[in-house]
Structure 1
Amino acid sequence: MSRLGERESGFLSTGPRGIFRRTLPAAEPDSGHRMVRVLGLGQLTLIGVGAIIGAGIFSLAGAVARDIAGPAVLLSFLIAGVASLCSAFAYAEFTGLVPRAGSSYTYGAAVLGEIVGWVIGWDLLLEYTAIVAAVSIGMSGYVGFLLDDLGIHLPAWALGAPGTGAGHRIDLVAVLICLGVAWLLNRGTKTSSRVDVVLTVIKIVIVLLVVIVGITKVQSANLSPFMPFGFDGAVAGASTVFFAVFGYDALSTAAEESLEARRNLPKAMMLSLGICMVLYVLACIVLTGMVGYQKVDPARGFSAAFEAVGLGGVGTIVAIGAVLGIVTVSFSFMMGASRLWYALSRDGLMPRWFGGLHPRRRVPHRATWLIGGASAVLAGLLPVREAAELTNIGVLLAFVIVSAAVIVLRYRSPELPRGFRCPGMPIVPLIGIGFSIWLMTFLKAETWWRLGVWLVLGLIIYAAYGYRNARKVSPGGSVDLASLPDQP
């Protein structure tokens, strides 16, 4: 065999035997194995808004304002939003080019190679599940607050994970939330998305209520000093609230359920992020303007702020809105995790049984229930901080890979038809890469160790099963993205 042939067919090549072969799944020939395209631009945008607005605006804003940034928390959201926008542009270009389920996994495998796609897909499977657990724990606190108002008191053993309080054994409400969201998703994409749209609209109305009513109680004196912790505090706050501005990543996993995916998904990403950033900034002004940053309650910031200015009824409505808002976040990320698992199974990297679709509802029901169960275990037994720490590093790693991949593909294949083109190439995606790496340096050593153990386990699965089976499902070398047909 010639040296050229060896390079094309070696283990580290992009050829049929190489782990860096660039893969892209073909459309399922059998309609029984395909998901149904039912999501239009409006539904996609609201799903994106539902994934972004949740714990960030109802919990993180208060905690960051009081302890890290003061009134400059709105700058924290703007800094995080600008950095996230750089990566969002990269995601939007890929969704307009590769409208396939799987998000970062699919993009990484199509541009940088199968092994890169597998690593990021395996990583995000954990991260999405942990996000569902973390936000469900956060919602559990608001539900408990509302139940107490109604005179309903849960037993101590059901109030939280072990170690979070006297007599705590399990966070029962968080467990039920995870399982309830899994049940809702298994009703079918059209049904569950309609419920999600309704809840998202209610959430937006309540956020607007916060802004409209709260702005009348804002006192300019509460906004001074604007940066009590300095500009460094605003930047440090950005590294915390970044958790609240990346929901469009989960939105991109719904590509195969989207109508006119090439056109609608990029638009939905930009619209959802833009809407959320406006609401975040206005809400931050109201929060710190009503009571001053020193008096903000980090757990139930807006509800406590309205109580403090004599509007307790509005505070209760806001608490209800927080519960509904966080449900939509759980919905979006569990939907993303199940669609990611579907993509991994379809491509042969995991057993196809996991990605099987319900015969009538056409959703990956087994994957959804497994993710619902896994997130329920995490939510029931882990404190919220430990659950949240499992999320950020994987998402930031995905941002680095997608931003790098869009640069590689733009210069490798500039002629490919793109429904959206990332502006400012390559500066904009390089900013996204730099900001993501910078934020990753703030994560604790334990987080890096957990990621390392999970990735090693993933590599073992790839070596023992995925490598050989993927070649049975999709034989051959690297694919040509130019051959990808337009999607309906």
Structure 2
Amino acid sequence: MNVLSRAFQKESVAGYLKKDGQMARVLSTKDLIGLGVGTVIGSGIFILPGHEAANNAGPAVAIAFLLAALFSGICGMAFAEFSSAMPVAGSAYSYGSVVYGEVIGWILGWSLILEYFLAVSAIATGFSAYLNSLLAQLGFALPQILRAGPDQGGFVNLLAVVVILIATFILFAGLSQSKKVENAGVVLKIAIILLFVIGGLFFIKPSNYADFYPKQFQTGLFGLGGITAATASIIFSFLGFDTIAAHAAEVKNPTKTMSRGILGTVLISSTLYTLFAIVLTGIVNYKKLGVDDPAAFALQTIKQTQFSVVITIGALIGMFTAILALIFASSRLAYSFGRDGLMPRGLGKVNSQHLPKNAIVLAVVVEAVLAGFIPLSTLTNLINIGTLTAFMFITFGVLFLRKRKDLAHDGFKMPFYPVLPALAAGLSLFLIIRLPILTLKLYAVWVALGLIWYFTYGIKHSAISNPKQ
């Protein structure tokens, strides 16, 4: 067998299920929705609506969120179908290895590890900015040397590192404890968001909606350039539902639970995002919303300063639950790499509490270093391209999944087959093209590094090459 044929050799679902038998199946639909909403309703809802309204879409940013939600929901159906057909750890990495071949699965996993690691670091950096602002209001401002990395005039972003370590401590307390913290945080966060939406309704000025989709943003095909650009950037907000698939090996009754968890997450999150964007752009003119804390800024503008502190606390809770869920997902992906031998096999081992200890440690070290020392402003779009690449391959992969005769596929199925899967894959590619050229170039470098690793280490140590290991 030549190298190319070997690289495209497909993994066995039965083999994955056997290896993942060491994981405890304890997650319910409620837990999955908690993890999903905990990730999706993170920094995105407290930052992106303002920036995208100011820079790309005006008040029509609400439409961009609806489009992103619709698109994410369609892609979520594909993930739901895959996860019910093969309830294994690894999400798109494992699915790609089964339907396309190991090298494609590796590229998808390599893309997702970039997405997860950068997302944790980016959200931790946002958490630090909000908390530093709150501490400054209370008279406890940290010195600049501890508020930012070397490139921003400091030494280390201390609070960003600390919040990652606290989340890790909770994860090491065990899955039962961490899901309780996650679920409680999600309930509190949703309550605060609803409080902003309901309270903000009384301060909406209809004049702020007069220029609903400003002319300066009406570029490209049919004048939708601004909305599609906003939609492409907003995809980052919905990355949480695909992290649910990373936990399929730890879910009770995955045939039904996975689809409910994924689709429930998308429905709840899209509703909250759209309502939040409508109220936000109604309170303050979109031109003023290009700030990192638009909700707090809006409340300060209407002289509701004390309420802005409540929103800041809600933002901190939201970002913390997102960090917790993403570390959880990234460690499961690293575990999958070790399980299959594409990275050192120690990552694929679990401890007596059924936790992949080594994988968690690796994820946390990388994420803490990125958050503490490296500014991520130029890299955040890499989160989007990693997500969209996985979306494209997994939605298109449904066409291959349906033809597999070796899978007992009696769970959730994506509707309007084969048109909807093909359409979703095409839309993913379109949104990738809408991302900045620099992002595409950086992503090409990342993929090249991943292929170098695969062909120099992974293919030799893979479980396919060494089935007895």
- Do the structures match in fold with TM over 0.5? yes
- Report whether the alignment pairs 1:112 with 2:100: yes
Q: Would you say the 8 A contact 2:59–2:212 is kept in 1?
A: yes
Instruction: Say if 1:138 and 1:384, in contact at 8 Å, map to a contact too.
Output: no
- Match of 2:155, SS state, is coil
Does the CA-based 8 Å contact 1:78-1:277 persist in structure 2? yes
Cα distance between partner residues in 2 of 1:339 and 1:426: 31
The answer to whether the 8 A contact 2:48-2:234 is kept is: yes
Q: What residue number does 1:126 align with?
A: 114
| 1:53 to partner: Cα distance | 0.8
Give the distance between the partners of 1:210 and 1:89, measured in 2 at CA: 30
Contact 1:39 1:259 in 2 (8 A): yes
Matches within 5 A, 1:85-484: 85-164=73-152, 167-228=153-214, 229-230=217-218, 231-359=224-352, 361-413=353-405, 416-469=408-461, 470-471=463-464, 473-474=466-467
Moved more, 407-416 or 113-122: 407-416
Distance 1:197 1:415 in 2: 33
Q: Is contact 1:218-1:290 (8 Å) kept?
A: yes
- The equivalent of 2:221 in structure 1 is none
Deviations 1:389-429 (A, max 9, x none): 33121111111111111112224549842311101112212
Query: CA offsets, 1:351-375, max 9 Å, x none?
Result: 221222122x211111112111111
Q: 2:8 aligns with which of 19, 33, 37?
A: 19
CA distance in 2, matches of 1:362, 1:417: 27
In the alignment, structure 1 residue 63 sits paired with structure 2 residue 51:
yes
1:151-209 deviations in Å (ceiling 9; x for gaps): 10111111223333xx3232111121222222222221111111111111111111111
Distance 1:364 1:313, change over 3 A: same
Structure 1 pair 112–144 and aligned structure 2 pair: CA distance change class (3 A): same
Distance of 2:235 and 2:7 partners within structure 1: 36
Aligned counterparts of 1:452 and 1:199: Cα–Cα separation in 2: 37
Deviation at 1:100, TM superposition (A): 0.3
Query: Which AA in structure 2 matches 1:122?
Result: W
Equivalent of 1:81, from 56, 63, 69? 69
State the Cα deviation string for residues 86-124 of structure 1 (Å, max 9, x = none): 211111110110100000011101111111112211222
Q: Alpha carbons of 1:23 and 1:457: their partners in 2 closer, same or farther (altered >3 Å)? A: farther
Question: Shift of residue 379 of structure 1?
Answer: 1.1
The worse-fitting range, judged by mean Cα deviation, of 150-159 and 450-459 is 450-459
Contact 2:229 2:434 in 1 (8 A): no
Q: 1:351 to 1:329 in 2, by over 3 A?
A: same
Decide whether aligned partners of structure 1 residues 348 and 24 sit closer, same or farther in structure 2, where only a CA change above 3 A counts. farther
1:232 deviates by 3.0
Q: CA–CA distance in 2 between the matches of 1:191 and 1:369?
A: 18
1:334–1:368 Cα contact (<8 Å) kept:
yes
| 1:16-53 alpha-carbon deviations (Å, 9 max, x no partner) | x563234335367699x712111111111111111111
* Cα distance in structure 2, aligned partners of 1:24 and 1:233: 42
Q: CA-atom RMSD, angstroms?
A: 2.1
Q: Is the 8 A contact 2:107 2:451 kept in 1?
A: yes
TM-score, normalising length: structure 2: 0.93
Q: 1:161–1:279: structure 2 CA closer, same or farther, 3 Å change rule? A: same
> How far 1:277 moved relative to its partner?
0.7
- Structure 1 spans left out of the alignment, 5+ residues: 1-8, 477-488
1:22 and 1:112 in contact (8 A); partners too: no
Q: What secondary structure does 1:391 align onto?
A: helix
